Amino acid sequence: MFSHAIVRTPGRNFAQGLTTADLGEPDYYTAILQHRAYCKALEACGLQLTVLDPDPDHPDSVFVEDTAVLAGSRAVLTRPGAPSRAGEVDTIAGTLAAFFEDVCRIEAPGTLDGGDICEADGHYFIGISARTNRAGAEQLAGFLKAKGFTASFIEVTGIPGILHLKSGISYLGDGHLAAVQPFAGLPDFQPFNLVRVPEEESYAANSIRVNDTVLMPWGYPKMQAALEALGLPVIALPMDEFEKMDGGLSCLSLRF
């Protein structure tokens, strides 16, 4: 069960962040409204929020999930693979230190984005991507193993439309794992009850289980129906402005 989440309000320069999406420029005011709705949904799931101020030096810093991996009492600060995002870690480290007694850090030459990490009942799938390299993945696996967790690596590089591992998979609890087609056939995921995300709804593969509820992006009826058929309560949230900046629903919070 989660009791807390850390989020960061989008900055006015949010549109200057990194993106490969060809969906137009995000609207700042709409992004603020969508972010508020996201925060309210987390609160409705029972979480107490720490809301950080916008960081004017880092337009992508609303995507706080990329700055840390949380594992029990340990917080692993990442070393983001995009140079423009490197400074985001120092601006959140103090907040994490207030909650986690054991804080360690990915060091060069390792790079790692939190969006490449998918935790499933104590096992951590670590995506090797354009942002997370093998050195970073191996450092993280070592930090996790020291705390009794297991880890394995999933190749993400070169899969069209997939920035991070969690752009294509989500662990939804109770053995349910949502996956887009390129991941659904991997042997690593066969032990799970696979929720196959239709190609036209691939953005919805990035959903999160928060206590008893799944938060998913709004506008993906097949995925929503599949989750409801599993008996999972769903809150669907408008995410368009974040999608324009290559951001998914999980990226907007660190949950613990």
Q: What's the min distance (Å) between Cβ of 172 and ligand GLY?
A: 23
Q: Of 74, 89, 165, 161, which is closest to residue 126 (Cα–Cα)?
A: 165
Do residues 78 and 86 touch, judged by C-beta distance below 8 A?
A: no
Regarding beta strands 234-237 and 213-217, do their DSSP bridges make them parallel or antiparallel, or are they unpaired? Answer: parallel
Using rule CB under 6 A, residue 112 touches ligand GLY: no
The secondary element (H helix, E strand) that includes residue 214 is strand 213-217
Q: What's the min distance (Å) between Cβ of 23 and ligand GLY?
A: 12
Binding segment for ligand GLY (CB under 6 A), chosen from 12-20, 27-35, 119-127, 173-181, is: 12-20
The secondary element (H helix, E strand) that includes residue 32 is helix 28-44
Binding segment for ligand GLY (CB under 6 A), chosen from 13-21, 67-75, 132-140, 166-174, is: 13-21
Give the residue, chosen from 55, 241, 243, 246, that forms a contact with ligand GLY under the rule CB under 6 A: 246
The CA-based diameter of the chain, rounded to the nearest angstrom, is 45
Q: What's the min distance (Å) between Cβ of 222 and ligand GLY?
A: 26
Is 176 in the active site? Answer: no
Give the residue, chosen from 55, 60, 88, 116, that forms a contact with ligand GLY under the rule CB under 6 A: 60
Do residues 237 and 11 touch, judged by C-beta distance below 8 A?
A: no
Q: What's the min distance (Å) between Cβ of 85 and ligand GLY?
A: 6
Q: What type of residue sits at position 190? A: Q
Instruction: Return the residues of window 77-106 that contact ligand GLY according to CB under 6 A.
Output: 82, 85
Q: Of 71, 14, 11, which is closest to residue 247 (Cα–Cα)?
A: 14
Q: What's the min distance (Å) between Cβ of 77 and ligand GLY?
A: 16
Q: Of 166, 161, 164, 170, which is closest to residue 234 (Cα–Cα)?
A: 170
The residue assigned the tokens 């239709």 is 198
Looking at beta carbons only, is 38 or 63 nearer to ligand GLY?
A: 63
Binding mask 14-33 for ligand GLY (x = CB under 6 A): ---xxx--------------
Q: Provide the 8-state DSSP code for 53.
A: P
Question: Which residues are marked as active site?
Answer: 164, 251
The residues of the shown chain that bind ligand GLY, judged by CB under 6 A, are 17-19, 60, 63, 82, 85, 245-247
